Chain A
């Protein structure tokens, strides 16, 4: 069973701080990596995708991928209360399915 692991949290950070969310995966053949945000009672929405080793920045969000360590992370700079949500890491599985982690709940305190 191919696995994607996340700390369930909650991760609590003060407003304006950097939030760091981590994810590890078991399938060395995975090529596509995603971070989805899910507000309570809502459906997931994509915030970042990353396909190669290194960093990818989009506004306040930075995704980091290290395939050798089978590790992907999401940094949120200048965290806002509106960033409070559950963040789901997703990894492709044999190229035709996504496997999701259990999600990390982030709380940004004003």
Chain B
């Protein structure tokens, strides 16, 4: 039982490049989330998927797209990376929405030059 896994762990991009961050959970959870964490700013929600087949914008969705591929997997895509997207990205999942415990993946450290 691996919990929530994320790939890659580290990534360096040049401005304008694209990439996809992968997230998978093996806990049969319904809801999945993508956050970014910048120094001193806590976690900010980018997008979430309350259930398979649905996605919604969070607090800071600009510059990102998501895909809920199936119940297990939720990917985050940066189409044209910008230095402002340098951050640590966390994926999380819950059994049933925000009243439940959120289980976080190990994070992806992304640097955009």
In A1-41, the 8 Å CB interface with B consists of 4, 6, 8, 31-32, 34, 36
Interface residues of A (CB under 8 A from B): 4, 6, 8, 31-32, 34, 36, 42-46, 49, 51, 88, 90, 92-93, 95-103
Q: How far is the CA of A96 from the CA of B58 in the complex (A)?
A: 10
Sampled A-B contacts (15; CB under 8 Å): A6-B42, A8-B40, A34-B102, A42-B106, A43-B105, A43-B106, A44-B43, A49-B101, A88-B42, A93-B98, A95-B99, A96-B50, A96-B97, A97-B48, A100-B35
| B74 adjacent to chain A (CB < 8 Å) | no
Which single residue of chain B is at the shortest CB-CB distance from A95?
A: B98
Q: How far is the CA of A49 from the CA of B99 in the complex (A)?
A: 9
Q: A43-B106, A43-B107, A44-B90 are in contact. Are A100 and B98 (CB under 8 A)?
A: no
In B43-95, the 8 Å CB interface with A consists of 43-45, 48, 50, 56, 58-59, 90
Task: Determine how close the nearest CB of chain B comes to the CB of A86; give it in whole angstroms.
Answer: 9
**B residues within 8 A CB of A42?**
106
Interface size class on chain B is 20 to 34
Q: A97-B58, A102-B41 are in contact. Are A43 and B90 (CB under 8 A)?
A: yes
Additional A-B contact list (15), CB under 8 Å, known A95-B98, A100-B35: A8-B40, A32-B98, A34-B102, A43-B90, A43-B104, A44-B102, A90-B43, A97-B45, A97-B58, A99-B45, A100-B42, A101-B42, A102-B40, A102-B42, A103-B40
Task: Determine how close the nearest CB of chain B comes to the CB of A69; give it in whole angstroms.
Answer: 21
In B15-48, the 8 Å CB interface with A consists of 35, 40-45, 48
Q: A43-B90, A45-B104 are in contact. Are A100 and B43 (CB under 8 A)?
A: yes
Task: Determine how close the nearest CB of chain A comes to the CB of B108; give it in whole angstroms.
Answer: 11
**A residues within 8 A CB of B106?**
42-43
Task: Determine how close the nearest CB of chain A comes to the CB of B112; give it in whole angstroms.
Answer: 20
**A residues within 8 A CB of B45?**
97-99
Query: Which of B42, B44, B99, B102 gathers the greatest number of chain A CB atoms within 10 Å?
Result: B42
Q: A43-B90, A43-B106 are in contact. Are A92 and B40 (CB under 8 A)?
A: no
